[in-house]
Amino acid sequence: MADYGVSAGQFVAVIWDKSSPAEALKDLVEKLRTLTGGEGQVSVENISQLLQSAHKESSFDVILSGVIPGSTTLHSAEILAEMARILRPGGCLFLKEPVETAVVNNSKVRTTSKLCSALTLSGLVEVKELLREPLSPEEVQSVQEHLGYQSDSLLSLCITGKKPNFEVGSSSQLKLSIAKKSSPPVKPAVDPAAAKLWTLSANDMEDESVHLWPRRRTGKREVKGTGELPAQVGLWKLLPGRCLPLCQLPLPRDAGLQTWGAGAPERQQSQ
């Protein structure tokens, strides 16, 4: 008998049906109890009562169904889903079922690919075929008696699937890395003396000593009063003995919007 990976301390469920020989079932259970030891547990459940059983989810490490010699158990989608429910995360299901190798319409016996798909749809992963062999004479007779099915193209397929390492519908908190909002830039400190020098008031603008003069840069020299379009106008304040620049203002490129100042001083203090 295969041990199906059963080890000490595990909880194992054995699923049987009316096709399972009683003596073979008893022998299998005794061998499994030897493997699980005193800290483990082996539960026996009839497949027709499995959906009404009081087993809680994640109750078993291993579930064996249809593996009793002589059994010809068929597993419906509801039964497979229930087995997946009561399996613990990471637990394994081992089942054996007769499969059809020929193409038969409306056959109650599934093909190998359909049986694998059924296990996958029940929520199991890593579904794979373990053993494929011809039916024994006892199994052929059991298929005819208990399933009412007769075919010369049947095989016995042993297959396994594993429950994912999480419960269906479970949730966990995800740690997201979210950049912190940057603080607004800090304005540099302004020298009060410089602020006072470059701040214009209404009185400054009304002062007759404040003038707008066109200025244009060509290379490194300033050209004044040439009649050409200036690139900037300068805001100057006339003081005794000197001309103090207050600011530079860009002019629009449209000549019709530009106004030429008159009376530009013959000399200006260079910046």
Structure confidence at residue 205 (pLDDT): 52
Please name the amino acid found at residue 61. Answer: D
Q: What are the Cα distances from residue 252, in Å, to 34, 107, 258?
A: 98, 88, 7
pLDDT in tens, 54-94: 899 999 999 999 999 999 999 999 999 999 999 999 999 99
Structure confidence at residue 72 (pLDDT): 94
Report residues of the chain scoring pLDDT below 50. 217-224, 229, 249, 251, 255, 257-271
Structure confidence at residue 180 (pLDDT): 61
**Nearest 10 degrees: CA dihedral of 169, 173, 178, 180?**
140
Secondary structure of 176-245 in the HEC alphabet? CCCCCCCCCCCCCCCCHHHHHHHCCCHHHHHCCCEEEEEEEEECCEEECCCCCCCCEEEEEEEECCEEEE
Structure confidence at residue 194 (pLDDT): 60
Q: What are the Cα distances from residue 233, in Å, to 98, 108, 266?
A: 98, 96, 16
3 state DSSP class of 21: coil
Structure confidence at residue 42 (pLDDT): 96
pLDDT in tens, 166-194: 765 555 565 666 656 666 777 777 667 66
- Domains contained in the chain, CATH given: 11-163 (3.40.50.150)
Q: What is the pTM assigned to this prediction?
A: 0.62
Q: What are the Cα distances from residue 134, in Å, to 54, 64, 112, 141?
A: 36, 20, 14, 13
Q: Is 42 exposed, middle or buried (0-12, 13-18, 19+ CB in 10 A)?
A: buried
Tokens of 42: 């082996």
Mean pLDDT, the chain, as a whole number?
79
Q: Which residue, chain included where needed, has tokens 């026996």?
A: 44
